[in-house]
């Protein structure tokens, strides 16, 4: 990949020196846990747990973008709804080839109702621009649509009750490539306990949608561990090369 002066400027902002390009992508199957968790519909889960949904027994798989966003905004399928300021649905180009998926909203995202808007989001924007994919050209979402208290890791049952919304977003978007940022998002979606270091630099397949899938570091982790930004740049090159290779 030949860098333009603009891309080099973004890399300088990230604190990354130019890293070598990657070899041809290899599609691999991730290491799986022995048992796969079932994915409950958020609406069904709300009814079975004593919660309620204004949409009743609504089939998530029938919803368009607008109706899906409305359903997320009133979801009570888990206890996280009691502490949210806003449900964080997702943002971006609804015809995008690339989808970025994180684990859950943070405090800034909860206040603004949009994913990746804090310091980590600003770094994500720089990373995407560095490979010629401005934020407005991709679609960004999280597995969880509500912020866990004190930014704790999402619980397995919370993710299971919420992930059907993400799968419907993927079905509507039909991206060429999904990139999970962070260990938790990658492991939950691939249903594996394999370390992120072993998931990187490989093309996996998201079982539920058969979508090519890549895992990389979360921008928040890169802010805490700036020396890993070189590896993140390597991942970005791999991501762009993979995306360009998909018809």
In a domain, 165, yes or no: yes
Q: Mapping DSSP to helix (H, G, I), strand (E, B) and coil, where does residue 27 land?
A: strand
- Residue spans of beta strands (DSSP E) within 148-220: 177-181, 204-206, 211-216
Nearest in space to 220 (alpha carbons), one of 100, 105, 121: 121
List of long-range contacts for 148-155, beta carbons under 8 Å, 24+ apart: 148/80, 148/104, 149/83, 151/106, 151/107, 153/103, 153/184, 154/103, 154/104, 154/184, 154/188
Query: Could you tell me which residues come within 8 angstroms of residue 106 by beta carbon, excluding any fewer than 6 positions away?
Result: 118, 120, 147, 151, 220
pLDDT of residue 159: 95
In a domain, 163, yes or no: yes
In a domain, 3, yes or no: no
Specify the number of domains making up the chain.
Answer: 1
In a domain, 9, yes or no: no
Angle (nearest 5°) at CA 87 between 82 and 93:
170
pTM for the model stands at: 0.83
In a domain, 21, yes or no: no
pLDDT of residue 57: 54
Q: What CATH number does the domain containing 72 carry? A: 3.40.470.10
User: Based on the number of CB atoms within 10 Å of its own CB, is 113 exposed (0-12), middle (13-18) or buried (19 or more)?
Assistant: middle
Low-confidence ranges of the chain (pLDDT < 70): 1-57
In a domain, 196, yes or no: yes
Query: Which pairing describes strands 91-92 and 139-142: parallel, antiparallel, or unpaired?
Result: antiparallel
Nearest in space to 61 (alpha carbons), one of 145, 168, 160, 161: 168
pLDDT of residue 62: 94
In a domain, 20, yes or no: no
Asked whether the beta carbons of 91 and 99 are under 8 A apart, the reply is no
pLDDT of residue 58: 74
pLDDT of residue 207: 94
- Report the distance separating Cα 160 and Cα 166, nearest Å: 11
In a domain, 15, yes or no: no
Asked whether the beta carbons of 239 and 139 are under 8 A apart, the reply is no
Domain containing 136 equals: 36-245
- Report the distance separating Cα 186 and Cα 195, nearest Å: 9
């Amino acid at each position: 990949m030949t860098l333009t002066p603009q891309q080099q400027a973004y890399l300088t902002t990230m604190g990354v020196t130019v890293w070598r390009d990657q070899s041809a992508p290899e599609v691999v199957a991730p290491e799986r846990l022995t048992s796969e968790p079932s994915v409950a519909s958020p609406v069904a889960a709300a009814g079975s747990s004593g919660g309620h949904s204004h949409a009743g027994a609504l089939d998530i798989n029938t919803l368009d973008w607008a109706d899906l966003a409305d359903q997320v905004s009133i979801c009570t399928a888990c206890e996280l709804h009691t502490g949210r300021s806003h449900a964080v649905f997702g943002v971006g180009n609804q015809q995008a080839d690339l989808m970025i998926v994180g684990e859950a909203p943070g405090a800034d995202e909860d206040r603004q109702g949009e994913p990746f808007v804090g310091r980590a989001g600003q770094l994500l924007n720089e990373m995407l621009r560095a490979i010629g994919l401005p934020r407005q050209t991709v679609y960004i979402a999280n597995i969880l649509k509500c912020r866990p208290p004190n930014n704790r890791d999402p619980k397995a049952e919370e993710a299971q009750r919420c992930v059907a919304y993400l799968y419907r977003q993927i079905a509507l978007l039909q991206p060429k490539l999904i990139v999970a940022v962070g260990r938790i998002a990658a492991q939950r979606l691939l249903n594996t306990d394999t370390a992120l270091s072993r998931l990187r630099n490989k093309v996996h397949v998201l079982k539920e949608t058969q979508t090519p899938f890549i895992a990389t570091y979360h921008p928040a982790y890169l802010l805490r561990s700036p020396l890993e930004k070189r590896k993140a740049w390597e991942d970005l090159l791999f991501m762009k090369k993979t995306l360009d290779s998909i018809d």
